[in-house]
Chain A
Amino acid sequence: MVETLSTPAALRRPAWRRSPLTVAGLALIAILAVIALLAPLIAPANPLKQVLSTRLKPPSADHWLGTDQLGRDVLSRMIYGARISLLIGTVVVGLAASVGTFVGLVAGYVGGWLDEGLMRLTDVFLAFPALILAMAISGALGPSLTNAMIAIAVVSWPVYARLVRAQVLSLREREYVEAARGLGASAQRIVWQHILPNTLAPLLVQASFDMGGAILSAAGLSFIGFGTQPPTAEWGVMISEGRNYIATHSWLSLFPGLAILLTVAAFNLIGDGLRDALDPRLRGTE
């Protein structure tokens, strides 16, 4: 006879009721991704087009979020800015997670002096305050969006290396890994087919948080002149350009700042939700 296991009432509820904030975060990112993809179709104007006769106009029916000091449409610049922010998050997290995962897998699986050396290397990179090192790297390579992304990835990878190494250390002693080894599987096969897939869950949680962190850091670098360069429509650049008008034309900085806040909060909510889902002991404690 097949016994039906009764599930707790909380787990029978649909996902959006169990974790409405996570679902809200996912919805927000989905909307943002659509906006970013369809930017040329939905932006009401060219984000770079200057119309000096309509400069510094407050939000109105013609320009929903107003115009900036060069008469450019703020809403259009915000829409195009979403492209850059999502690109930054994806590239930085992709780079950092790939490098970090590789280092973590090698350190954890090989062990010994190589593990010790690689972990001390992560200690060194973790010791640098992220923005200061990123600023130094951006300064050395020259300020640009690409160099800012490289700089942020350089300071982000050690967390992934630590995370994956810790997972590998516990996984490599598991019975199924022993069995694969007993059957003569190569180290490469064991790592890629048996260990890596099981390290992905915590990586995903970290990646969600880091997407927001990368967007924040890149906007900060752009704000002080080490990231995306004007006239590109990027949220950090927009805040920087609006800073001299904060008391009189606050919308110039207000809207891009809100966009960063909402995007980063959405990624943080997704990270919280994923962490809770993957580790039910933590549910509601963070």
Chain B
Amino acid sequence: MTLLSYLLRRLVGFVGVMVGISIITFGLSHLVPADPAIVALGDHATDAQIDAFREKYGLNKPVPEQYWIYVTNLIRGDLGISLRTRRPVAEDLHDFFPATFELSLMALVLSILIGIPAGVVSATARNRLPDHIVRIVSLIGGSVPIFWLGLILIGFFYGRLGWLPGGARIDKFIPAPPTVTGLFTIDSLLAENYKAFWSSVHHLFLPALALGYFSTAIIARMMRSSMLEVLNQQYVLAARAKGLRQGKVVWRHAARNALIPTVTTIGITFGSLLSGAVLTETIFSWPGLGRYATNSAINLDFPAVMGVTLLAALIYTVTNLIVDVGYHWLDPRIHHG
């Protein structure tokens, strides 16, 4: 199958999945036992206001028609009005997304920088002390409750040592950089405001560490098992037989090839970081989508919760699509049947 026909098939599948996702979020919104019009407008709304709201969102029409209105609104980018912030959900998502993206990206960068070398070292020192250490640390990473780890990190690094801040995106005495990308680190660099840059990096470190530990463990485990397979291949033996230095054999020949399956893991991990962000952002008072979703769900603000759910599912599906297509492109041996 050529790359183009594979891409087309995946795109058709993508549209199908998005339709399914919209049916589920629509169905969930209808599970809520309250009248959405009254919940949205409050107890003091007049009958005329309630009727107008029902008309606008099609709440007085048959369910299939309501779904159709819901989907056409979604396609236009209208995710409804948040009951808590009283703003369009799409605008809220636009405002809260960069904080989550910056946190997830930093968590992923940390995971890659630590997980890949850890996996390589673990595989090359198989059954020796470095291997045991990496395996135990990975086991803990895959088992630790992320919210508890966050609390412990705050208690130790902020509460006891006072080395790192325990919440927020930037020091309260430093003004946020002018918004270009919404990522404080990038925006402060663009504004050449290095004080703001260091402050935002400082604030990112602990939440990114807490959020990234799980993915670091997964990446390290994947890299280790993939390296163990590659190290037994004949081309590695040939490289050794040629008299190449161990470092060169491991990093230049083995690790590069072992990276291919790990890249898939990294992509999937990025999608799942959003789930972890819900807990991490709650702990670290991080003003992102996760905290927005939690606060909205606590206040039964369903348009907002469904907006986050839809966006998260969209990001996950798109990330998977990119990873699969990238994998197909990276490894010419793969022919999807």
Contact = CB atoms under 8 A, between A and B. Distances in A.
Interface of A: 120-121, 123-125, 127-133, 135-141, 212, 216, 219-220, 223-226, 236, 239, 243, 246-247, 250, 253-254, 256-257, 260-262, 264-265, 268-269, 282, 284-286
B203 interface: no
Contact of A123 (B17, B279, B305): B17
Contacts of A141: 31
Nearest to A154: B24
Interface stretch (B64-72, B169-177, B269-277): B269-277
Contacts of A138: 297
B139 A269 contact: yes
Contacts, number: 151
26 contacts: A120-B13, A123-B16, A127-B320, A129-B271, A129-B275, A129-B316, A131-B278, A136-B306, A137-B28, A139-B300, A139-B305, A140-B32, A216-B143, A219-B147, A220-B278, A220-B279, A223-B145, A223-B147, A239-B151, A246-B151, A246-B159, A257-B145, A260-B145, A261-B143, A285-B228, A285-B229
A219 B145 contact: yes
Given A121-B20, A247-B160, A268-B143, A132 B308 contact: yes
Contacts of B294: 135, 224
Contact of B274 (A124, A132, A137, A268): A132
B271 A136 contact: no
Given A135-B297, A224-B279, A224-B282, A265 B309 contact: no
A140 B31 contact: yes
Contact of A136 (B140, B144, B228, B305): B305
Contact of B17 (A120, A135, A212, A225): A120
Contacts of A243: 151, 283
Given A123-B20, A139-B302, A131 B275 contact: yes
B313 interface: yes
Contacts of A132: 274-275, 278, 293, 308-309, 312
A286 B228 CA distance: 9
